[in-house]
Amino acid sequence: MKRTMISMILVGGKGTRLGDITNATAKPAVSFGAKYRLIDFTLSNITNSNIDVCGIVTQYEPFELMYYIGSGASWDLDVLEGGIRFLTPYSRKGDILWQKGTAHAIKQYFDFIRAYNASYVLILSGDHIYKMDYQLMLEHHLNSNADITIGATEVPLEEASRFGILEYDNHNRVLSFTEKPKNPKSNLASMGIYIFSTDVLEELLEKASDEDIDFGKNIIPKSINMNKVVSMYNFGGYWRDVGTVESLYQANMDLVDNPTFLDLNVSKDLPIYSKSLNLNPHVILSKGRVQKSVIADGCLINGIIRRSTISYEVVVESGAEVVDSVVLPNVTIGSNSYLRKVIVNKGVIIPDNYRCDSKEIIVITDDNMLKVGEIYE
């Protein structure tokens, strides 16, 4: 069955800049906004864009992510002759084909793309927070007679060196693409969202050398030099790459400061779906107080929560106070403890009377707990 466009999500990276948060978890499986995982945004966008084929290219710590996604039913992607397909490293002639970069990963699974005979391939990351109708980007691609279209958005200039930076002309044709420049010439950044005409993608990957492993570093700049038509699609909505501890923290604070900034309610346009864990609603006990926060199901709150996100199955004991913080799942926060401006990693048990009042964002784990806080007996 021929498709107009299929999607490929790259989720194989280690996410090293998130430190302990991704030690045993693929970055797209990290919790966000108490009730979501990062991957929820990309999968929901695919569904909302009426795309029914999604190849998920995995590598690092894939189990939790694969278990969470399952058949894709929570995102209405459990369809016959399509839907979710996990593409994992495999062996050929005795060697395991590990992915060396984004382009290398797609090249390894080009047989998957050929199988659906699609005219266009949408390449995505699984760790960005945004809502987008990819069909509008495809319309731009077609109207521009483009070979490649790059989704782009403006970022703060001080953060621009983290991204691929574009220069373009009055017709939105990309003139240059520089991956993570030390001195960026603009703040228009690639979102890591690409639409390729399939024949062009196949040509570029077949011609790629063994060193051409990444779209941003290698394939896109070379395609510009080859006079391929590379177009820029300017996305004006909220978008955040949560590749660092600071950006993950700030995205959570964006949500509590302005709950409607993404219109996450499923009754809104382009709703964001997540997998239900079938937990009981959270309970706020007699000493519990919650202000300007998001609390997930399965939580027991007997302390004070202010401007924070509290993920699934968290217990906050009496006298505890959590302020300006992000608490990941399955955490227990002991009585009379105080946490401010921290991310508490999943599964951590905060002891009674513990205190961590931080000026900078700190990730609290079982290993570093005594180093960042003080325990008062």
Residues 6+ apart with CB under 8 A from 89: 59, 96, 97, 98, 99
Mean predicted confidence (pLDDT) in 114-122: 95
Q: Is residue 269 part of a domain?
A: no
Please choose, from the candidates 33, 28, 14, 48, the residue with its C-alpha nearest in 3D space to the C-alpha of residue 128. 28
- pLDDT band with cut points at 50, 70 and 90 for residue 14: low
- Alpha helix segments (H runs only) across 27-62: 39-48
Cβ-contact 108, 92 below 8 angstroms: no
Q: How far is CA 186 from CA 133, 156, 215, 340, in A?
A: 26, 10, 20, 35
Residue 94 has pLDDT above 60, yes or no: no
Q: Is residue 276 part of a domain?
A: no
100 and 191 in a single domain? The answer is yes
HSE-up of 375 (CA within 13 Å, CB side)? Answer: 10
Q: Which amino acid is at 128?
A: H
When mean pLDDT is compared over 60-64, 183-187, 305-309, the highest value belongs to: 305-309
231 and 298 in a single domain? The answer is no
pLDDT at residue 146, as a whole number:
98
Q: How far apart, in whole angstroms, are the C-alpha atoms of residue 192 and residue 128? A: 9
Asked which of 18-32, 105-119, 239-253, 270-284 is least confident by mean pLDDT, the reply is 18-32
HSE-up of 83 (CA within 13 Å, CB side)? Answer: 13
Among 223, 257, 291, the domain-final residue is: 257
Q: Which CATH number covers residue 111? A: 3.90.550.10
228 and 87 in a single domain? The answer is yes
pLDDT at residue 190, as a whole number:
96
Q: Which CATH number covers residue 302? A: 2.160.10.10
Give the residue with greater pLDDT, 141 vs 93. Answer: 141
Task: Say whether 8 sits in a helix, a strand or coil.
Answer: strand
Residue 96 has pLDDT above 60, yes or no: no
pLDDT at residue 153, as a whole number:
96
The two counts, helices (H) then strands (E), for the chain are 9, 29
pLDDT at residue 293, as a whole number:
96
Q: Is residue 247 part of a domain?
A: yes
With pLDDT > 90 as the criterion, what percentage of the chain qualifies? 68
Please report the DSSP string for 212-245 in residue order: ---IIIIIHHHHHHTT--EEEEE--S-EEE--SH
pLDDT at residue 122, as a whole number:
98
pLDDT at residue 264, as a whole number:
62
Residue 91 has pLDDT above 90, yes or no: no
Mean predicted confidence (pLDDT) in 324-349: 96
Residues pairing with 290 in the sheet: 305
Residue 261 has pLDDT above 80, yes or no: no
Cβ-contact 325, 331 below 8 angstroms: no
Residue 61 has pLDDT above 80, yes or no: no
Residue 176 has pLDDT above 60, yes or no: yes
Q: What is the pLDDT of residues 212-254, one digit of tens each?
A: 788 988 999 999 999 999 999 999 889 999 988 999 999 999 9
pLDDT at residue 333, as a whole number:
98
Q: What is the average pLDDT score of the chain?
A: 90
pLDDT at residue 25, as a whole number:
81
pLDDT at residue 212, as a whole number:
75
Mean predicted confidence (pLDDT) in 278-284: 95
pLDDT at residue 332, as a whole number:
98
Q: How far apart, in whole angstroms, are the C-alpha atoms of residue 340 and residue 325? A: 6
Residues pairing with 230 in the sheet: 148
Place of tokens 């937990």: 279
Q: How far apart, in whole angstroms, are the C-alpha atoms of residue 318 and residue 302? A: 5
Question: What pTM was estimated for this model as a whole?
Answer: 0.92
Residue 369 has pLDDT above 90, yes or no: no
287 and 250 in a single domain? The answer is no
Residue 376 has pLDDT above 60, yes or no: no
Q: Which amino acid is at 358?
A: S
249 and 312 in a single domain? The answer is no
Helix (H) or strand (E) holding 201: helix 198-207
Among 257, 291, 321, the domain-final residue is: 257
Tokens of 271: 């709703």
Mean predicted confidence (pLDDT) in 53-78: 89
Q: How far apart, in whole angstroms, are the C-alpha atoms of residue 5 and residue 2? A: 9
Q: Is residue 277 part of a domain?
A: no
Domain extent for 81: 5-257
Give the residue with greater pLDDT, 196 vs 158. Answer: 196
- The DSSP secondary-structure symbol of 18 reads G
Q: Is residue 140 part of a domain?
A: yes
Q: How far apart, in whole angstroms, are the C-alpha atoms of residue 31 and residue 232? A: 31
148 and 59 in a single domain? The answer is yes
Residues 6+ apart with CB under 8 A from 361: 245, 246, 249, 341, 342, 343
Place of tokens 């703040």: 187
Structural domain count of the chain = 2
215 and 105 in a single domain? The answer is yes
Helix (H) or strand (E) holding 370: helix 369-372
